[in-house]
């Protein structure tokens, strides 16, 4: 009992085990196991004795130990690998995953990758070494083939936001291209002919899709693609603000801006406000954000639904855990064009 006592500091009181409960209740470990797991076929008398001992010892079963021995081998935990737990997109997605998992009494291990391939692999490895029952991943690496063994071992994998490469697996995506295209159509309809593209890192697949949608939109509207109006690789608010300022001060400045992502949109707004042009230049953002409708002008956006993505991904995952063995599914969620004002500003006079 006191074998682990530390001579220097107060010893910790070791946690009670199944064996301790059995000893106190005067039954076998197997009987305690039955009671704790709610199995039928135990005398009410013994059930009471076990319950009493459990509560006296404040016994907490060791779920890891039981998972180790159980035939299902389930740990009742899933891993969620996201871009950045602090950003609104990732955190809304995570919360939706949590809500679905919670109904199944499953816990969430979560981590941020920050656009770093190494980190993606390190997190996945750490999660699989804990034998999570499944993984939801917003992939950043260029190849997810390293997950093949994991899939073959029966761990369901669902990718969100971006498609996996080098691996066939379930995924849940936003229709990035259609969303961007719609924004361009909307701006063209108001009369814009010089619509700039402000894009995130060009290596990001979703950024590529949004750029493709921008190009298609221009084409469909009979507008030329002006390379001077295309800026890639904006990853922070400051990046975007600087690029916007430069663009608007240039010869033949655009009359409308399409910002391919949250932070880029905010950077563009910052620049527009500094230049006093927020009512004079149209702006469309990809991704909605809190307070977009309290700004002046209110900000028009192509909205994704991160909560719906998280929910869909979690539901796919749990279907797999329930035995669904169909071929990989690909869920494409539509975006919503939200007209609030900034996207409807007409072109000014040249």
Partner DNA sequence: CTGAAAGCGCTTACAG
Candidate list 5, 11, 19, 103; residue touching DNA; CB under 7 A: 19
Decide if 308 contacts 350 (C-beta within 8 A): no
CB of 209 to its own copies, least distance (A): 25
Distance from C-alpha of 260 to C-alpha of 289, rounded to nearest angstrom: 13
Question: Rule CB under 7 A: is residue 42 a binding residue for DNA?
Answer: yes
DSSP letter, residue 11: P
Decide if 213 contacts 176 (C-beta within 8 A): yes
Angle between helices 44-57 and 29-36 (to 10 degrees): 90
Per-residue mark of binding to its own copies, 248-267 (x: CB under 8 A):
------------------x-
**CA separation (Å) from 59 to 4, 106, 338?**
19, 21, 53
Distance from C-alpha of 347 to C-alpha of 194, rounded to nearest angstrom: 9
Decide if 271 contacts 165 (C-beta within 8 A): no
Question: Rule CB under 8 A: is residue 43 a binding residue for its own copies?
Answer: no
Question: Rule CB under 8 A: is residue 45 a binding residue for its own copies?
Answer: no
Decide if 123 contacts 147 (C-beta within 8 A): no
Question: Rule CB under 7 A: is residue 70 a binding residue for DNA?
Answer: yes
Output 43 or 64, the one with its CB closest to its own copies: 64
Backbone angles phi, psi at 97, to 5 degrees: -60, -45
Strand partners, 160: 172
Output 179 or 267, the one with its CB closest to its own copies: 267
CB of 40 to DNA, least distance (A): 6
Candidate list 1, 2, 9, 69; residue touching DNA; CB under 7 A: 69
Candidate list 1, 10, 12, 40; residue touching DNA; CB under 7 A: 40
Question: Rule CB under 7 A: is residue 153 a binding residue for DNA?
Answer: no
Residue 281 exposure: Cα atoms within 13 Å on the Cβ side: 27
Mark the segment that binds its own copies (CB under 8 A) among 23-31, 119-127, 181-189, 202-210. Answer: 119-127
Which contiguous run of DSSP H or E holds residue 52?
helix 44-57
**Maximum CA extent, the chain:** 91
Q: How many residues bind DNA (CB under 7 A)?
A: 30
Candidate list 2, 9, 10, 37; residue touching DNA; CB under 7 A: 37
Output 113 or 158, the one with its CB closest to its own copies: 113
Distance from C-alpha of 68 to C-alpha of 75, rounded to nearest angstrom: 8
Output 141 or 347, the one with its CB closest to its own copies: 141
Mark the segment that binds its own copies (CB under 8 A) among 27-35, 147-155, 218-226, 336-344. Answer: 147-155
Mark the segment that binds its own copies (CB under 8 A) among 41-49, 109-117, 196-204, 215-223. Answer: 109-117
Q: Is 340 exposed, middle or buried (0-12, 13-18, 19+ CB in 10 A)?
A: middle
Mark the segment that binds its own copies (CB under 8 A) among 41-49, 198-206, 288-296, 334-342. Answer: 288-296
Output 31 or 260, the one with its CB closest to DNA: 31
Question: Rule CB under 8 A: is residue 152 a binding residue for its own copies?
Answer: yes
Question: Rule CB under 7 A: is residue 155 a binding residue for DNA?
Answer: no
Please report the DSSP string for 65-106 in residue order.
Answer: HHHHHSSS---SEEEEEES-TTSHHHHHHHHHHHHHHHHTT-
Q: Nearest to residue 82, comparing CAs of 334, 326, 306?
A: 306
Candidate list 5, 48, 56, 65; residue touching DNA; CB under 7 A: 65
Residues that bind DNA (CB under 7 A): 14-15, 17-19, 27-31, 33-34, 36-37, 40-43, 45-46, 60-62, 65-66, 68-72
Instruction: Note the residues at the interface with its own copies (CB under 8 A).
Output: 9-10, 12-15, 58, 60-65, 67-68, 75, 77, 84-88, 90-92, 94-95, 98, 102, 105, 107-112, 125-131, 149, 152-154, 266, 269-270, 273, 289-291, 294-296, 307, 325
């Amino acid at each position: 009992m006191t074998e682990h006592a530390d001579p220097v500091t107060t010893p910790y009181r070791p946690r009670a085990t199944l064996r301790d409960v059995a000893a106190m209740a005067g039954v076998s470990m197997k009987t305690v196991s039955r009671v704790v797991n709610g199995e039928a076929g135990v005398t009410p008398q013994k059930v009471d004795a076990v319950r009493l001992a459990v509560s006296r010892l404040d016994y907490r079963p060791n779920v890891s130990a039981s998972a180790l021995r159980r035939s299902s081998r389930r740990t009742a935990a899933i891993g969620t690998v996201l871009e950045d737990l602090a950003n609104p997109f990732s955190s809304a997605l995570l919360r939706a995953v949590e809500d679905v998992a919670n109904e199944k009494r499953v816990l969430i291990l979560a981590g941020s990758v920050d656009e770093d391939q190494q980190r993606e692999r390190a997190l996945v490895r750490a999660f699989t070494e804990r034998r999570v029952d499944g993984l939801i991943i917003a992939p950043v690496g260029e190849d997810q083939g390293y997950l093949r063994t994991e899939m073959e071992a029966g761990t369901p994998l669902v990718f969100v936001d971006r498609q996996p490469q080098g691996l066939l697996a379930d995924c849940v995506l936003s229709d990035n291209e259609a969303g961007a295209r719609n924004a361009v159509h909307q701006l063209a309809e108001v009369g814009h002919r010089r619509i700039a593209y402000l894009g995130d890192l060009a290596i990001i697949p979703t950024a590529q899709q949004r750029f493709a949608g921008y190009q298609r939109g221009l084409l469909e509207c009979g507008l030329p693609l002006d390379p001077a109006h295309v800026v890639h690789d904006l990853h922070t608010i400051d990046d975007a603000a600087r690029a916007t300022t430069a663009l608007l001060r240039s010869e033949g400045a655009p009359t409308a801006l399409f910002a391919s992502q949250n932070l880029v949109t905010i950077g563009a707004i910052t620049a527009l406000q500094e230049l006093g042009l927020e009512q004079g230049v149209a702006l469309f953002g990809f991704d909605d954000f809190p307070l977009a409708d309290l700004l002046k002008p209110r900000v028009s956006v192509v909205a994704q639904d991160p909560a719906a993505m998280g929910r869909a991904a979690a539901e796919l995952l749990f279907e797999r855990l329930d035995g669904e063995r169909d071929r990989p599914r690909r869920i494409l969620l539509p975006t919503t064009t939200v007209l609030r004002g900034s996207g409807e500003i007409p072109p000014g006079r040249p």
